[in-house]
Structure 1
Amino acid sequence: MGDGRWRTAGSALMRVIVVWAVSTLTMLVLAGILPDFQLQSDNGDSVTKIAFTAAWGAGAFGLLSALVWPVLVRALLIVPALVLGMLVFFLNGSLLLVALRLIPDGRGAANPETAVVVAAVMSAVASATSTALAVRDDNAYRRRLSRLADRRRRRSGADGGRSGPPGTVFIQLDGVGHDVLARAAAGGLMPTVAHWLADGSGHRLTPWRTDWSSQTGASQLGILHGSNFDIPAFRWYEKETGDIVVSSRPASALELQRRAIVRTHDGGLLTLDGASRGNLFSGGADQLALVLSMAARRGKGRRSRAGYFAYFSDPANAVRTALSFVAEVGREISQSTRARIRKDAPRIKRGGLYPFIRAFATVVERDVVVAAVIGDMFAGRTAVYADLVAYDEVAHHSGPHSRDAENVLARLDRSLALIAKVAEHTSRRYRIVLLSDHGQSPGETFAGAYGLTLKDLVRAGCGLPVPRRAQRTKSGSEARDAVRTALHRPVEEGGTDTAAAPSDPVVLASGNLGLISFPDIDGRATREQLDRRHPALLSTLANHPGIGFLLVRSEMHGSVVLGRGGAQTPVSELADGEGLLEPFGPGAADAVRRTDTFPHVADVMVNSMYDPATGCVHAFEEQIGSHGGLGGEQSRPFLLHPRTMSEPMASRMSAGPGADGELVGAEQVHEVLRRWLRECSGPQVPLTSDDADESGGADGTAAAAG
């Protein structure tokens, strides 16, 4: 053995000894603090004997964690992520109880509750100590990062360089608009992104334009599977089945993915040695973690849970994530309380389960996805697509330009920095591409501005009963007056008007996009049918100050767009920059025309008002940062890519680029990403199961440290 190997072995042995010593001291301190945790006999022991007992217990616990823990986690991969996250603590405590039983003479004892606490603290301290030692020893840190890469090179017979075809990591920053990213980088919130954008760094920022449905379901399906045809919104009603399709439901996501594959006759962007992490759809990848569409599948679909192994194989990861989770819950409660005291406007309620939902999105999902991406890079996979949803979740409730959302961007930038650092140590070169699926537009909610929901307004316009709070609003009163005038007689309070034969409408919201469907009208309802049944409805909606325009089909004129004061424009004659769509900017006319061709377009499509001066819209949901329709930053996401890749508009897209040269629609983005993957295609090195298994255990700790 050469001098270098002796030094490596000696350094590793010293780290083990130091971690063991620190763990022993931690166990001694905990034994002195916790009354139900003891390391001595009932008659008392000498200090030396107690120290020996602690050293024995710490050593046994460390060995069990190293040898038994990965096996336990692998056996529990069928357990859902949240359950597994909580179960980690009980399993960790159980390992400590076993370790205490291995101490001679039965001197170690703890009740189960105390064992969970002791195990969590010891795992966190041991991991922190090990990480600190590795960081201090730069060579050790580099060896730790590149161990799997070296093994793959030796196995494949490649030389020590990185001359093969590069892999590509696509990181989706959910909900981050082009302008938000540019401001965050320029303002110092995202130094990693700022470095990429700096002169000479070799990256280019390119905006693109969403379809009318500016939300993750439509955008990500188009990006990953090449088609988002017939996706009118985040949720919609399908008359032939009577079902409400919601993109965030596993069964719906699986069906939408199936429809896209049937339409394109292609498995998706990631079919060649790909990995899908934290997404709604698989993209055709074999390696899956936190993929919603696969959660609805049985048997083979369980492979998506294997990604958890990359994170939970190290119990310290769960401890750190749990502490960060609790801290994030406290941060949200503190921030919402301050906003309420300051009487910030606009503002929505942020109580109930929301603090925990936010903590899951900003901590748990981020940690697991980043760990999985790092594991994929060490495994040398060709294409990885991962979605980080933290900003989108916080911006919905705090606002896209709020300090809360800015803080999330700063933390996401640190995750990007970690991924970039790891890319320096992998056996395969990686190009990192950032992109978003949509942006977000700020604004007071429709209900906050007018005192009633879109559903209330629709029901009032149909002469159907509405809550008393809605009856007392100006909008509700005007709607009922319009119904009385149209019917030439009063509408009974709390009742329906049977002469008008009203059907109970299905009213759904996707950000500032509303969808109204009438289940008892076969096919797509026409304007004439609706005027006969509900003569005040369309005028009530079109003339409301919170609504920008309506899309409805006419028997006489084909599909038309309706606006205030009786304005009407056939869809075939729509043009950007004029008429009802003038405030909504370039691409609005084509977006409306395309959606009008969808089989499942709603009977009435409702887009909220948009104020170009403020960039504000009115969400029909309880969101002060929203997306889903037309208007403002929500329709302007971005691509951030190395300049070594070809220009996004280098070749003509199948749907044709926009008149202003921008990418238009998620399907065009899919073609760009597919072209970039083809440009780097080359012979692939098969991935073995040993590499995949080991990458999880090695990389989870590094990801959590970020």
Structure 2
Amino acid sequence: MVEGRWRAAGGAALRVVVVWAVSTLTMLALAGLLPDFRLQSDDGDTITRTAVTAAWSAGAFGLLSALVWPLVVRALLLVPALVLGLLVFFLNGSLLLVALWLIPDGRGEADPQNAVVVAAVMSAVASATSTALAVRDDNAYRRRLSRLVARRRTGAALGPDTPPGTLFLQLDGVGHQVLRDALDAGVMPTVAAWEATTHRLTPWHTDWSSQTAASQLAILHGSNHDVPAFRWYEKDTGRLMVGNRPASAVELQRRAAARTGEPGLLAHDGASRGNLFGGGAGQLALVLSVSGRRGPGTRSRAGYFAYFRDPANATRTAVSFVAEVCRETGQAVAARLRGDRPRVGRGGLYPFVRAFATVVERDVVVAAVMGDVLTGRTVVYADLVAYDEVAHHSGPHSRDAAKVLARLDRSVALIAKAAEHAPRPYRVVLLSDHGQSPGETFASAYGLTLRDLVRAGCGLPVPRRVRHGPSGAEARGALRSALHRPVEEGREERPARGAGPLVLGSGNLGLISFPDVPYRMSREEIDRRHPALLRTLAHHPGIGFLLVRSEEHGSVLLGPDGFEAPVDDLTDASGPLAAYGPGTADAVRRTDSFPHVADIMVNSRYDPATGRVHAFEEQIGSHGGLGGGQSQPFLLWPAELSPPVAAGEHLAGAEAVHRVLKRWLEESRSPVRAEEAFPVTGGVAPDKTG
């Protein structure tokens, strides 16, 4: 035991010496390359003296980084997280200037610009060297990963008989077919190896509202009742609910908990990372429903501190952020030069939104999950939003999106590597909350927005210039929280007195409400007020079908060519629903029962031959309604767990997914054979392709 401790101490000391030596050589090289960075006195020094000066400054910088940096980051915890990431260069450069100031006889000197460059290079080299030295040392590798988070597990130690933990990794917006194509093309080798050996893959069907707020609320809290879309208007309170706003997320989580009476999927020693909702977890990082809280004790924001306290991590993420902004700018220019169609604008703040989702949020979430694994957390649910954000603007089947999938695969591999060094075994479940469907936007295809079409049907003036509404991308809510933007935004969407109907878009799902009527209007009332409106919408070539309440038939579905049928009589083969696939009629009926369903629910046309829809937002890859890949996310689970459903059945609805994941957690605590938990007739194995 004592000998082992001495060996470990000796190995650690050797690594410190090697990192110090490499840092010293790096500083000498930079002093020779940068004209305004010197390590000599004005009269010049011998090579030996210069080397001693470099070693002194490298050691001082390393010591300051280890001791002072975590304190500086904790002091700045209330600074917007994205701003903190961008302050990395300045803070690191300041530490280097202090280190040079500590050199005896004033032999070190650098201007501020060079200090920033030298500090960044030094941090990167030290991090790379330390990591390389730890590759062959499991204990050192584990310690290195553990430093990515600033917490240690308390309580009883985990023993060899500890049941396995469970990791739920959500690849936001990755549809089943998109994943299948990526695995077959070799884009995601880690996930492909799992699917070919230890895991099984199947699709599942979303509700009508195919978006993160609805799906993840049900997956984590067991209910998404009364979530008709990504954004909707509630007449009884006058509130505009939007899925990626903290105030709405808090209220939705409260409603779900009240309906189910349960704390959530993650209530037992769980962690929620990068999600819209907490799931009852005790450990939270980048969770939207708690991000509106202020104060140094805000647990969700502590996830930023856990990551940025390491200057090497902070520097690497900041550099990657800048690189991603440049990458998006280059890809947008290339798409324009190639004349890609369909195409949407990718300027303004979008490059920074994309970089936040694909770099900052990914790095912080992955680091938090690795820390959870290395401390033996029982269950973790994490959302990686990178693909969803890029696919909205580049398309779900684009080269840009495929590159993001490859990077996500590397993140999954990194988490799996950390799990190998965990104090307990882990089962990794990959899943998505929805997919995406491609297609030209409604405004681009027909020259007017859904709002313009509604106003025309009501006989109201239509603006000459097309006005685009805000995007429903989930990453924007996280970015607003990171920037400390106000919780309530989008005041232009709030209904103004006398302004006519309120029209909201959620992907290719549109919601039309009449705010001056305190209840859900009927078809007959709408016809009396605006005789041409329903007919205009139902016969438009970009509209698939409408849902509206009827005084005579309860609720009815309206479609092209005069189609009309009571909702209670609908089947999946009914008129326009035939194109949308199985489960459509039940999804429509369920949404029709919600208290806050809009006066008119509009689903865009879907072409099953091309898989295309028309989004009512500025997105060429969209989700939110019915039609195509958006309604078919995936579930990839370890084969030792019981199948999600019995052979021949389909997994439909996010609430059903919650029940499956909950069952798997129970199996992990009390292992049972898969066939005992869910009999599969005839010995047929679960379908791997779905």
1:185 corresponds, among 183, 186, 194, to 183
Residue 677 (str. 1) matches residue 677 (str. 2): no
- CA shift at 1:301, angstroms? 6.9
Between the aligned partners of 1:143 and 1:121, the Cα distance in structure 2 is: 23
Structure 2 counterparts to residues 290-301 of structure 1, below 5 A = 290-298=286-294
- CA shift at 1:123, angstroms? 0.6
- CA shift at 1:135, angstroms? 2.6
Structure 2 counterparts to residues 162-177 of structure 1, below 5 A = 162-177=160-175
Structure 2 counterparts to residues 228-627 of structure 1, below 5 A = 228-298=224-294, 302-468=298-464, 504-627=500-623
In the alignment, structure 2 segments of 5+ residues that lack a partner are 468-496, 672-690
* Structure 2 counterpart of 1:399, one-letter code: G
- CA shift at 1:30, angstroms? 2.6
Between the aligned partners of 1:649 and 1:238, the Cα distance in structure 2 is: 35
Q: 219-228 or 415-424: which moved more?
A: 415-424
Between the aligned partners of 1:288 and 1:52, the Cα distance in structure 2 is: 46
Between the aligned partners of 1:463 and 1:60, the Cα distance in structure 2 is: 74
Q: 37-46 or 246-255: which moved more?
A: 37-46
**Contact 1:145 1:426 survives alignment (8 Å):** no
Between the aligned partners of 2:300 and 2:220, the Cα distance in structure 1 is: 17
Aligned residues: 641
**Contact 1:547 1:608 survives alignment (8 Å):** yes
**Contact 1:505 1:517 survives alignment (8 Å):** yes
Between the aligned partners of 1:237 and 1:455, the Cα distance in structure 2 is: 15
* 2:23 aligned partner: 23
* Structure 2 counterpart of 1:78, one-letter code: L
| 3-state DSSP of counterpart to 1:607 | strand
**Contact 2:146 2:371 survives alignment (8 Å):** no
Q: 344-353 or 593-602: which moved more?
A: 344-353
1:196 corresponds, among 194, 197, 204, to 194
| 3-state DSSP of counterpart to 1:334 | helix
**Contact 1:145 1:425 survives alignment (8 Å):** no
- CA shift at 1:411, angstroms? 0.8
* Structure 2 counterpart of 1:673, one-letter code: L
* 1:89 aligned partner: 89
* 1:108 aligned partner: 108
**Contact 2:142 2:374 survives alignment (8 Å):** no
* Structure 2 counterpart of 1:195, one-letter code: A
| 3-state DSSP of counterpart to 1:452 | coil
* Structure 1 counterpart of 2:459, one-letter code: G
Q: 82-91 or 666-675: which moved more?
A: 82-91
Q: Residues 372 and 561 from structure 1, CA distance in 2 versus in 1: closer, same or farther, beyond 3 angstroms?
A: same
Between the aligned partners of 2:613 and 2:155, the Cα distance in structure 1 is: 57
> 1:338-387 deviations in whole A, cap 9, x for unaligned?
21111111111111111111111111111110000000001111110000
The Cα RMSD (Å) is 2.5
* 2:652 aligned partner: 664
Between the aligned partners of 2:448 and 2:277, the Cα distance in structure 1 is: 35
| 3-state DSSP of counterpart to 2:263 | coil
Between the aligned partners of 1:302 and 1:425, the Cα distance in structure 2 is: 29
Q: 331-340 or 5-14: which moved more?
A: 5-14
Between the aligned partners of 2:553 and 2:86, the Cα distance in structure 1 is: 59
* 2:676 aligned partner: none
- CA shift at 1:304, angstroms? 1.0
Between the aligned partners of 2:278 and 2:158, the Cα distance in structure 1 is: 31
Q: Residues 2 and 240 from structure 1, CA distance in 2 versus in 1: closer, same or farther, beyond 3 angstroms?
A: closer
* Structure 1 counterpart of 2:400, one-letter code: D
* 1:64 aligned partner: 64
Between the aligned partners of 2:220 and 2:124, the Cα distance in structure 1 is: 38
| 3-state DSSP of counterpart to 1:664 | coil
Structure with greater Cα Rg: 1
Return the TM-score normalized by structure 1. 0.87
Return the TM-score normalized by structure 2. 0.89
Q: Residues 660 and 215 from structure 1, CA distance in 2 versus in 1: closer, same or farther, beyond 3 angstroms?
A: farther
* Structure 1 counterpart of 2:191, one-letter code: V
**Contact 1:146 1:425 survives alignment (8 Å):** no
* Structure 2 counterpart of 1:401, one-letter code: H
* Structure 1 counterpart of 2:406, one-letter code: A
**Contact 2:209 2:227 survives alignment (8 Å):** yes
* Structure 1 counterpart of 2:657, one-letter code: V
* 2:11 aligned partner: 11
Between the aligned partners of 2:659 and 2:389, the Cα distance in structure 1 is: 28
**Contact 2:148 2:371 survives alignment (8 Å):** no
**Contact 1:275 1:285 survives alignment (8 Å):** yes
> 1:373-409 deviations in whole A, cap 9, x for unaligned?
0000011111100000011111111111111111111
Between the aligned partners of 1:297 and 1:262, the Cα distance in structure 2 is: 21
In the alignment, structure 1 segments of 5+ residues that lack a partner are 472-500, 651-658, 684-706
Between the aligned partners of 2:143 and 2:501, the Cα distance in structure 1 is: 63
Between the aligned partners of 1:183 and 1:450, the Cα distance in structure 2 is: 31
2:632 corresponds, among 630, 636, 644, to 636
